[in-house]
Structure 1
Amino acid sequence: MKLLRKITLAAALGVLAATAALAAEPAAIQKNWTAPMHKMLAQALVDDVMASHPELLSLTLQGEPPGHKGVYTMFAGSFPDRIGKVSSAVDVLVITKGYTILDPRWNQDDNPRKSTYLTPLRDKAGQNVGLAVVVFKNPAGTNKSEKEFFLAASEIRDKLAQRIPSHAALFGPAAQP
Structure 2
Amino acid sequence: MTKKNALAYGAIALLFLGLGLYMGVRTKQADPVTTTVAPTAGPQTPVQAMFAQSMNDATGANHSLSRWKGKALVVNFWAPWCAPCVQEMPELDQLAAESTAKNINIIGIGIDSPANIAEFAAKHKISYPLYVAGLSGTELARDFGNKQGGLPYTVLIGADGQVRKTYLGKLKFDELKADLAKL
Shared fold (TM-score, shorter chain, > 0.5): no
Q: TM-score, normalised by structure 2?
A: 0.32
Q: TM-score, normalised by structure 1?
A: 0.33
**Could you say which structure has the larger radius of gyration?**
2
